[in-house]
Amino acid sequence: MSPWTAIVRWSWLILSASPGLTQSTEPPRPPLDYVIVVTGGEILDGLYPDSHTHFLTRTLRPLSGRCVGTVTVDDREEDLTGALRFALGRAPLVLVTGGLGPTPNDITRETIAAFTGIPLRECESVVTAMERRFNQSRDQLRANLRRQALVPEPGGYLPNTAGTAVGLLFHTTNATIVALPGPPRELQPMVEKELVPFLQTHFGLRPPGLTVTLRFVGLGQSQISQTLQEQVELRPDLVITSQFDTGGRVDFTFALPGRTASEKEWLDALAATLRRQLGDHLYAEDDTTLEEQVIRAFARHGITLALVEIGSGGHVTDSLSGVENLERVLVGSYVAPTERGLRQLLQLESSNGSDVERLNEIGRTARIRSRSNVVVVIGFPELDHGQPRSVRVLWVDADCRETRFPWTDSTAASHALLTTRILDWLRHQTGVSR
């Protein structure tokens, strides 16, 4: 997904049985309820999105973890204490993110210790790890760094391979509070490598079973869900999670608790059914992005590409940045806010031709200049005989093909949706097969 798209996620358990399929002999474990407490005034101020809730719920759901609430609070002791009271009234597990760093407003460690009555003590192994990380003796370590070596005792910590703030484990009589670092580059590997094994041992969460992820474009969640209900008899132990973004892409992940041959056969049959019913909209059956799928198709066919962007403002080029083998496919990109600016960039005289003729001329010139096999020209939003505004897109090679996509406004969401539609069109133009 592009970094500027907003992601919303929802999940549910399907409770219909599948006759004739071998069911798991192990009774399903009850879900583990937990609450997420996100700390950080910058999130409340709208400076950063809360990515932690999405990541944690998506990671723990296939393990039978069930998030029953989430709350975001400022970095103030009274706010965090109130959130902890709320959380412990709802679940036996509380996950707190942020506030473990070296700055004065990083108060999570001391606040949870005071709330639980569990003392903090300097951990020898954490200090030793800091000495190695900074190549300094403990006497030379700054006090604010060394403060991060304070861990609950009894309790413990989760190692941090990407930073200095270790995770903290507070065990009360009836619950466990886990404090995790705030930066996603530290929190996410800690959750996957340390927290998940801890929860499997401490709470008996089942290990990850078989999963299959199907990625769709051009369909809504409700339409995919309806197809599932009408075409598939779903198992009672199947966990379905889905996520969508404002660019019109939807991911569905199906998970079973075990890893038996019969479970794999069942998931394969499920994927085959959706492939038959929705195959034109199904662009990947793994973690492959739409951008990667398009570039792979161009590379597989030996097609080189140049982009000419007017109405899309360079967003299509930006979406392809970093895709593997991009240098084999994308020769270059011409971006300008107006057709006039684009013509100046290509050293073309003004033209009185029709919209298609002018864009085709731009495409043919860009193809010669870039020496690419294909040029994709994305025009400026325009009216079409009183119809709603749309963007004309041309595929220019020895011939010229065109299409139009609706256009609403210049918001990030509109650009995201236009980018997705253009990429999906390119996927079909190159005859992409999964």
> If you write DSSP's letter for every residue of 172-186 in order, what string do you get?
-SS-EEEEE-SSHHH
Q: What is the pLDDT of residues 63-90, one digit of tens each?
A: 888 899 999 999 999 999 999 999 999 9
**425 pLDDT above the threshold of 70:** yes
Across the chain, how many H-helices and E-strands are there? 16, 19
Could you tell me the pLDDT band of residue 431, with boundaries at 50, 70 and 90? low
DSSP bridge pairs for 392: 404
Assigned token pair, 367: 């193809």
CATH fold, domain 290-429, is Maf protein (3.90.950)
∠ CA 428-386-363, nearest 5°, is: 40
Q: What is the pLDDT of residues 257-304, one digit of tens each?
A: 778 899 999 999 999 999 999 999 999 998 899 999 999 999 999 999
Assigned token pair, 111: 């606040």
Q: Which helix (H) or strand (E) holds 158?
A: strand 156-158
DSSP-based helix, strand, coil % in the chain, nearest 5:
40, 25, 35
Q: Which sign does the torsion angle of CA 332, 337, 341, 343 carry?
A: positive
Assigned token pair, 332: 């270059």
Instruction: Report if pTM > 0.75.
Output: no
CATH class of the structural domain 30-203: alpha beta
Q: Which helix (H) or strand (E) holds 10?
A: strand 7-13
Q: Burial code of 364-385, b = ≥16 C-beta within 10 A, e = fewer? A: bbbbebbebbbbbbbbbbeeee
**pLDDT confidence of residue 434:** 39
Half-sphere exposure of 261 (CA within 13 A, CB side): 0
**381 pLDDT above the threshold of 90:** no
Could you tell me the pLDDT band of residue 11, with boundaries at 50, 70 and 90? very low
**pLDDT confidence of residue 385:** 63
Cite the residue boundaries of each domain of the chain with CATH code 3.90.950.20: 290-429
Q: What is the pLDDT of residues 94-144, one digit of tens each?
A: 999 999 888 888 899 999 999 999 999 988 888 888 888 877 878 777 777
Q: Which sign does the torsion angle of CA 65, 69, 73, 77 carry?
A: negative
Cite the residue boundaries of each domain of the chain with CATH code 3.40.980.10: 30-203
Q: Is 358 helix (H, G, I), strand (E, B) or coil?
A: helix
Residues 6+ apart with CB under 8 A from 117: none
The whole-angstrom separation of Cα 253 and Cα 292 is: 19
Assigned token pair, 233: 């008899």
The whole-angstrom separation of Cα 55 and Cα 431 is: 34
**pLDDT confidence of residue 207:** 62
The residue type at 309: E
The rounded mean pLDDT for the chain is: 86
Q: Percent of the chain at pLDDT above 90? A: 56
Could you tell me the pLDDT band of residue 400, with boundaries at 50, 70 and 90? very high
Assigned token pair, 25: 């002999």
Assigned token pair, 256: 């079973």
Find the mean pLDDT for residues 203-213.
Answer: 80
The whole-angstrom separation of Cα 45 and Cα 138 is: 37
DSSP label at residue 408: -
